[in-house]
Amino acid sequence: MPASPDFASTFLAALDADWARHIAAIGPCLHQPRPEREPYQALVRAVAYQQLHAKAGDAILARLRALFPDQDFPSPGQLCASSVEQLRGCGFSARKAATLQSIAQATLDGLVPSADAARELDDEQLVERLTQLPGIGRWTVEMLLIYSLERQDVLPVDDFGVREGYRRLKGLERQPSPRLMRELGQTWSPWRTTAAWYLWRVPAP
């Protein structure tokens, strides 16, 4: 992240006793962005993890990369040239296979920007641009913003883990709705990415 995670942690810990107690228990923010990944690769990876546990997503990506053993990650052209059957064999659903190929084609067409071009666009511009792609919702773009583009003020309010973390943090009976989560998160700005990192780590009671 561009700014010190320690500064963000200190800011959040000062919000109230619940935040202070949780941050003291977890310790420093160890958020690890991956700025070397181009938006194309970040989107493909995010699709692999949609609605799956991390281990399942890891396994699917490993099988995809194994199709192209001489390189770290398939190029957009290679993904476009792959058959649906090959992608299904990696563990992608038919819908996700179609989404991957649409991401690859949109990258070749220039709709999915390079990392340098993406850094010139603000968060909402990127959300509006990339959610034009079938199968790409706001959450997927927010993962790109958080991890590849190192944006420090992103709160993925549709994320189950974020809402469940807040429910546990505050001892609520129900998760807040995405709309309420967005309102609550206003007070965490400009460190909402760090807030999300901590909410993902609220332990079960």
User: 75 is written with which tokens?
Assistant: 């190029």
Catalytic residue among 58, 70, 158, 159: 159
Single-letter residue type at 164: E
CA 41 to chain centre: 12
Given a contact cutoff of 8 angstroms between Cβ atoms, the answer to whether 197 and 153 are in contact is no
Given a contact cutoff of 8 angstroms between Cβ atoms, the answer to whether 192 and 185 are in contact is yes
Radius of gyration in angstroms for the set of CA atoms belonging to the chain, rounded to a whole number: 18
Angle (CA) 2 176 19, round 5°: 50
Q: Is 6 a catalytic residue?
A: no
Q: Give the three-class secondary structure for 45.
A: helix
Give the integer Cα–Cα distance in Å for 86 and 94.
Answer: 11
Active centre residues (catalytic): 159
